[in-house]
A and B are shown apart, each in its own frame.
Chain A
Amino acid sequence: MSEQRKAASLISGGLDSLLATRVIREQGIHVEGINFFTGFCVEGHTHAIRKKERARPKRNNALWVAEQLGIKLHIVDIVEPYKEVVFNPMHGYGANLNPCLDCKIFMVRKAHEWIIQHGFDFIITGEVVGQRPMSQRKDTMPVVSRESGSGDLLLRPLCAKNLPETLPEREGWVKREQLYDFSGRSRKPQMALAERFGLKDYAQPAGGCCFLTDAQYSSKLADLWQARGSKQYEMDDIMLLKVGRHLRPRPHFKLIISREEGEGNFLQGYRKQFVSIRTISHPGPLALIDGEVGDADIELAARLVARYSQGRDAAEVELEMADREGNSCLLRVRPLPPHEIPQTWHL
């Protein structure tokens, strides 16, 4: 009896990794999923923050995909080691601060370490030649195999026929003729395959599953680095970049202003780390001040917060300012009129 071969599949939660895994399972391979948590994943904690979206709760698609496939999913926290990829991508950034090629190399390298540790035979991904402008090109796919150290242990079932044979194919663990030759940006072949497998409900992420591909998010991260004078971030920083309205009225401080109740509740959890301001006389947002501020800065911040409250047209709005120790004081300010808020303050 032949040995049961085992593959680790990189599961993002999207359709491609779902299909790739299904294709390999159909060939009798035991597959378990790995999902890497970078902190920038669109899946995850922030999905549930906004109150208006709570009526329509978002699932974690990686978990959902694993459940549909009937496979185990190992979620691996790579927040700390991933920072080096974000700070210094050897192959550069994409259109925004997305280090896609370095990211893919890093994840496949981690998967390679994982299969060695857990006695698995090879790695599969849902990559398709020509699908993404950086990491999924005919010329960069061999770079991922080579620089990740996985070499021919990396099999891409959806486009394997467009690529040189890998070890699992050569050894006969998987049949090459039952793999696919998808290429290009069209999603039609994947959708047709999904239909063949009877899959109807699957995630169709627009623009990828990483906040670093988002222009506005990247602009906020670049601002954070500039304000701090170096490329650094902690988990809380990158979480806060996903929440609220960010305005930098002065180089030495910015405001994070909640846009609705769910975000306000989330920001409440940071009141011991930041000076905070909330409106008292009118319903309105909670805001955190990121930076060291003087009296004039606090007044400006309060006027801005008042602008985003329901007292925006009132002559005066009362607010409470609290320091990190919880000491508070009341402020009365005239809301800042819109024409006094330059567009350049918005991050």
Chain B
Amino acid sequence: MPSVHHVSTANGDVLLLIGTMKGLFVLRSNRARKHWETGGPYSVGSPVYAAAFDQRNGRRRLWWAQQSFRWGTILNSSDDFGKTSTEPETYSIKFPAESGVALKNIWQINLNAPDQPDTIFCGVEPAALFVSRDAGSSWSLVEGLFNHPHRPKWVPGGGGLCLHTIVPDPVDHKRMTVAISTAGAYRTDDGGATWQARNQGIRAEFLPEKYPEFGQCVHKIVQHPAQPQRLFLQNHWGLYRSDDGGDSWKDIANGVPSDFGFCMVAHPHDPDTVYIVPIESDEYRCTPQGKLRVYRTRNAGASWEPLTRGLPQKNALETILRDSLAADTLDPAGIYFGTRSGKVYGSNDEGKSWQLILEGLPPVVCVKAAVVGGSGKPTARAAKKTARKVRPKPKAVKKPAGRKVARARAK
């Protein structure tokens, strides 16, 4: 077994939680985000697809999901950055016996329920949502989604039938959007009792009917809290924006080398800015032309620009998975991603330039960023920036003439 190093943190430090196929690594830096100390690995030998840092209600708690190859999937926590961890005697997230299914993996740990500092959501495989209202002590299955009449027709994607994305509305406590591969986006407006498919305008290239009610393979959905009605979506072929909370979606693949990809993250202070890493195709699943390029829109998808400074531009056949792109909340924001080849890159200037933070890790499946001691809310300066950006009506999406986007062949 590898030796385990534990990081020591101070308020203002930036943490990166790196979930890999062989355990969790915890990286720490100061505000400059130039030099990183590596902690871990924790849950050595097990895939860690989900991690989160909970600092609500005075906690300093790391959460991570350990998919033990032998012993099943366990939700672990640590209140001292990994020095000691709590592995519950009986597993906290389990399907009821009468459900007929068993937990395979936890894909998402979400702490973003507005004004509910003891609420945690977990998205799991097989696709379902669990909620804890007591800071993780007890969990229950969200029955409204589990009993959805569409569920028997949901089918697994390459990664399994997983609920991998949870987007609680930052204003309306009863509204939440989730994404399931392969089922699509679903939204509740009544606190989880009922759910409706919200996939209008999203294509399903692999189905006979290209725009079905459900069955899409949504890879990631992001939202900026200042504009809760606006959502961005990276699909299995397709890049979309919704300006009506997911009721309808518009194609925004304007100037990207491919509209296939997995990951997506919203800028913490600018609701018009989103980052993605396009992938060449669903067969090849590597960065196009051997160039590692993060793409950024600063106008809500009207156009995208490649960000390449510091990233390899030849022989870089990389794959960045759906949860492996993250942003911190500092100003300027830090953007981070991990690759399937075990590299972690970071930018401390919002993507203008990049540095290789760490390499030689097992395949990276999850990257999360947090500022220790931060509330997760923007600073006054950042909030001002956000306020300047929030407009009463979003810009109409116009496709620039002459720009070619690699799309699915059948389109």
Task: State yes or no: do A and B come from one complex.
Answer: no
Query: A residues bordering B, Cβ < 8 Å?
Result: none
Query: B residues bordering A, Cβ < 8 Å?
Result: none
